[in-house]
Amino acid sequence: MRVFSSLFLGLFLLSITGWETDFENAKKKAEKEHKLILLNFSGSDWCIPCIKLTKQVFETPAFQSYADSSLVLINANFPRLKKNQLSKDLQKKNNKLADKYNPKGIFPYTLLLNAEGKVIKSWEGFPNMTAEEFTRQLNDIVSAHK
């Protein structure tokens, strides 16, 4: 029961913030809505820079407001604690994404992709900028690809 409640809570929180967990669905949504995809590789319960990126950038009103209107967000999470483990299906999907987009296993690793999955820009580690600066940089790139 505890595992199911943890899984439900995690999926619930992802849905609140607008983060997808299925890459194929994210690509379809990006195509339909004419948006770019922001793919983030995270270790949510062990990677300090990942946790910092989530709290200091992704959870800020500036980023969330911009992302809601301009991006399709997808999180490929690789938790280590047993209580936070993902379903086998989601682990498999995240591993497949990592094989293609993050073969070096960098955390955090964030990529901006077009609807076909082509990499436009990537950030290794925690970007050395504020949430507002990161959002402005995203906006400049997104605007150039419209």
18-52 pLDDT, tens digit per residue, is 899 999 999 999 999 999 999 999 999 999 999 99
CATH code: domain of residue 95:
3.40.30.10
Contact 118, 44 (CB under 8 A): no
To which H or E segment does residue 124 belong?
strand 119-124
| Structural domain boundaries, residue 98 | 2-144
Read off the pLDDT of residues 106-127 as tens digits, 9 standing for 90 and up.
999 999 999 999 999 999 999 9
Q: Is the pTM of this model over 0.75?
A: yes
Mean pLDDT of the chain: 91
Overall size of the chain counted in residues? 146
Q: In angstroms, how far apart are the furthest CA atoms of the chain?
A: 48
Contact 112, 36 (CB under 8 A): yes
Distance CA 103, CA 143 (A): 29
Angle between helices 61-70 and 131-144 (to 10 degrees): 20
Q: How far apart are the first and last CA of the chain?
A: 46
Residue 40 β-bridge partners = 75, 110
Contact 41, 78 (CB under 8 A): yes
Q: How many domains does the chain have?
A: 1
